[in-house]
Structure 1
Amino acid sequence: MAASKVTRDVFGKLPDGRRVERVALRGEGGFEARIISHGAVLQALIAPDAKGGYDDVVLGHDAFAGYLAERKFFGATVGRYANRIAKGQFSLHGETVQLPVNNGPNALHGGLDGFDRKLWEIAAIEEGPEPAVTLTYTSPHGEENYPGRLDVRVTYRVTGPAELSLVMEARTDRTTIVNLTNHSFFNLEGATSGTSILDHELTVAADHFLAIDATAIPLPEPARAVAGTPFDFRRARPVGERIRENDQQLQNGRGYDHTYCLGRDGKLALAARLEAPRSGRIMELFTDQPGLQVYSGNYLDGTISGKGGKLIRQSDAMCLEPHIWPDAPNRPDFPSPRLDPGGTYRHHTVYRFSARSP
């Protein structure tokens, strides 16, 4: 009898006694994705290397206590609005909505108590050739001051030998805004390797990026061309090759913390490719979202420990976050995050792993 491709266990408990569950989805060989119900977090992602070995490639914690103690978004489902909204304000139907600000003067990643801090319900588990888990959360009208009740579904599915698909959907009972993403921190040498991602080779399928001010809000100008700047990853090059150049945008982000303009038109397409030099691991990211936030782990400062008890320091990992552009509710020239009753917000991202021939 074939071994199950899905297992389910208890990962921890909240202070009020509610259980946090973990579901493991398995592909071929040792490929495995582990998802926990708190924050709909991708807690582990075990991928092949060039020598036939497997290792966990996302940062996080071995035990639930680490996720509860520190809000660092490791592997989390982020919402109701991923990235930043200037001054926490936007207008809807002519009325100003004021969100809590939690990142300098701005609202970030859903505010003070976003989706990453919620206990999601495991609504469905699927066995078979493409094992999957679906988690749901209902955000009530007025939560973090966002208008409308929002019913959210997130499905993680193994869709290939070493491929993880992520589909996020949302519906509302009144006009609102929504912008979701997964906030995994990747190190393709391994989460406990102790190596930097600055020598990872990165390719981004974008000709333009959004320049930001000192608070990481896009400047009131059109997207800038990457050509001739340290932001040009149209051909593969190391993340750290130009990260320390004297460039105002690198200073504003303390490195890379910028949205690349993908222009997906709602179609799934290759957005980025990341390759680790020693393990030979390759991750290709496909998405239907219009933007990709490239974040080089600039604010990881060694104050917390992660898997294996290792301190997490600057550039120990990087994020590639597909989503709608930051501050889009205030920018009619940006892709719109508006969701009306009867409509469905949908986000599809695929992480495909392979390895360079040894």
Structure 2
Amino acid sequence: MTLVINDDAIIELASESVRLELLPLGATLRRFEVLLPDGTWRNILLGHRDVADYENNVGYLGASVGRFANRIGGARFSLDGTRYIVDANEGVNQLHGGAKGFSTQVWDVAGVGDDWVEFSLESPNGDQGFPGRMQISALFELVEGGAQVTYRATTDAPTVVNLTTHPYFNLDGEDSGDTDFHQLRIPASAYTPNHDDGIPTGEIRDVTDSAADFRLGRVLGPARERALEEGISRSGGYDHNFVIDGEGLRKHCRFTGASGLSLVLRSDAPALQVYTGEHLDGTVPGTSGVPYVRRAGVALEPQGYPDAPNHDNFPSTVLRPGEEYVTTTQWLVG
């Protein structure tokens, strides 16, 4: 195991088979390199070419997002009889914690080791409209065959929280073009349909016989076409919350490139947001210098349900004083 911190504040963690680059800005995962059988390395994670570009991180590439990952409808919610209005940064809705959410903050480096780094952040009461002063940490670690992150949070007043990493993966390499020939398999028997603006309708719908059924695996190109035919696509692709079967730390998906390289994502979160990178348009140069075309990567985000504070039938995202929010995600390459 090795640890390097360079002049650009890039923190590098390396094992015999995995190399990571992380940034304190946004507690961001910038590169995820894996050793291939032929002895070469491949970066499977989309990221910005210049570290300065993370100050205007288009698409939240690799960032830690919060206080509330995904969307809050109408940028408002009620908690214990009090109505809270939070920062609206996507039309009338809030996305990923607001315009100055956690992805825009420079996190403190709380500790480092040969195979780990821990970032910490204090979010004051009223931050982006959310109640309570929160203490948050993100522990990134190398594990056998990959890496993992564990988020922790506490609060001094009742609030809501939903934290995740926002990595876009391309298993053929971040510079290899679109992901149309990637296969995605998700053990989810249900998903939450959206309105046109991405806010859930409140329904938890069975995926059977629909374009949202990834239980046996689907190639993304044909899957998108079927989603369009069924009228459930968003911006021509997927931006959907899948309800993962089971509980505890378990498989959320297997993502396989045309090259045959696979990524298994495991998490204890109740759901997985899958976003197929429809906003990428060839104007954002990646770490390799190659611009990212539409669907150059797929964002796989374990999380609580979007807009959960406004739906009593969704799992609660409320955090109260004396409690600790803890969630872990693993990325294992095979």
Normalising by structure 2, report the TM-score: 0.96
Q: CA deviation at 1:28?
A: 1.5
Letter in 2 for 1:306: G
Query: Separation in 1 of the partners of 2:285 and 2:191?
Result: 32
Q: CA deviation at 1:50?
A: 4.7
What residue is the counterpart of 1:65 in the other structure?
A: 52
What residue is the counterpart of 2:182 in the other structure?
A: 200
Query: Given that residues 185 and 255 in structure 2 are in contact (C-alpha distance below 8 angstroms), is that contact kept between their aligned partners in structure 1?
Result: yes
1:6 and 2:12 matched: no
Question: Matches of residues 103-142 of structure 1 in structure 2 within 5 Å?
Answer: 103-127=90-114, 131-142=115-126
From the superposition, tell whether residues 328 and 253 of structure 1 become closer, same or farther in structure 2 (CA, over 3 Å).
farther
Query: Residue 311 of structure 1 is aligned with which of 286, 291, 305?
Result: 291
What residue is the counterpart of 2:313 in the other structure?
A: 333
Query: Separation in 2 of the partners of 1:338 and 1:304?
Result: 36
1:237 and 2:218 matched: yes
Determine helix, strand or coil for the equivalent of 1:191.
Answer: coil
Q: CA deviation at 1:249?
A: 1.0
Query: Separation in 2 of the partners of 1:226 and 1:189?
Result: 28
Superimposed CA distance per residue, residues 104-155 of structure 1 (whole angstroms, 9 cap, x where no aligned partner): 221000101110000001111122xxx1000000001111011001100000
What residue is the counterpart of 2:230 in the other structure?
A: 247
Determine helix, strand or coil for the equivalent of 1:144.
Answer: helix
Query: Separation in 2 of the partners of 1:263 and 1:338?
Result: 22
Determine helix, strand or coil for the equivalent of 1:301.
Answer: coil
Letter in 1 for 2:239: D
Structure 1 unaligned segments of length 5 or more: list them: 12-20
Query: Given that residues 322 and 349 in structure 1 are in contact (C-alpha distance below 8 angstroms), is that contact kept between their aligned partners in structure 2?
Result: yes
From the superposition, tell whether residues 75 and 139 of structure 1 become closer, same or farther in structure 2 (CA, over 3 Å).
same
What residue is the counterpart of 2:256 in the other structure?
A: 275
Q: CA deviation at 1:196?
A: 1.2
What residue is the counterpart of 2:208 in the other structure?
A: 227
Query: Separation in 2 of the partners of 1:350 and 1:144?
Result: 29
Query: Separation in 1 of the partners of 2:37 and 2:90?
Result: 40
Normalising by structure 1, report the TM-score: 0.90
Structure 2 unaligned segments of length 5 or more: list them: none
Q: CA deviation at 1:52?
A: 3.6
Query: Given that residues 9 and 23 in structure 1 are in contact (C-alpha distance below 8 angstroms), is that contact kept between their aligned partners in structure 2?
Result: yes
1:349 and 2:332 matched: no
Question: Matches of residues 8-157 of structure 1 in structure 2 within 5 Å?
Answer: 8-11=5-8, 21-29=9-17, 31-127=18-114, 131-157=115-141
Query: Given that residues 50 and 281 in structure 1 are in contact (C-alpha distance below 8 angstroms), is that contact kept between their aligned partners in structure 2?
Result: no
Q: CA deviation at 1:253?
A: 4.6
Query: Separation in 2 of the partners of 1:101 and 1:309?
Result: 33
Q: CA deviation at 1:263?
A: 4.4
Query: Separation in 1 of the partners of 2:157 and 2:236?
Result: 38
Letter in 2 for 1:227: T
Question: Matches of residues 163-182 of structure 1 in structure 2 within 5 Å?
Answer: 163-182=146-165
Q: CA deviation at 1:72?
A: 2.2
Query: Separation in 2 of the partners of 1:242 and 1:290?
Result: 23
Determine helix, strand or coil for the equivalent of 2:6.
Answer: strand
Superimposed CA distance per residue, residues 43-69 of structure 1 (whole angstroms, 9 cap, x where no aligned partner): 100013353421111111232122124
Query: Residue 277 of structure 2 is aligned with which of 297, 305, 316?
Result: 297
Superimposed CA distance per residue, residues 150-201 of structure 1 (whole angstroms, 9 cap, x where no aligned partner): 10000000011x31011000000110000000001111111122x2111111
Query: Separation in 1 of the partners of 2:189 and 2:306?
Result: 18
Query: Given that residues 204 and 272 in structure 1 are in contact (C-alpha distance below 8 angstroms), is that contact kept between their aligned partners in structure 2?
Result: yes
Letter in 2 for 1:6: L
Query: Separation in 2 of the partners of 1:277 and 1:326?
Result: 31
Determine helix, strand or coil for the equivalent of 1:66.
Answer: helix
CA RMSD across the alignment: 1.3
Letter in 2 for 1:321: E
Determine helix, strand or coil for the equivalent of 1:244.
Answer: helix
Query: Separation in 1 of the partners of 2:59 and 2:255?
Result: 22
Query: Separation in 1 of the partners of 2:129 and 2:47?
Result: 29
1:189 and 2:172 matched: yes
Q: CA deviation at 1:237?
A: 2.3
Letter in 1 for 2:5: R
What residue is the counterpart of 2:238 in the other structure?
A: 256
Determine helix, strand or coil for the equivalent of 1:227.
Answer: coil
Q: CA deviation at 1:228?
A: 0.8
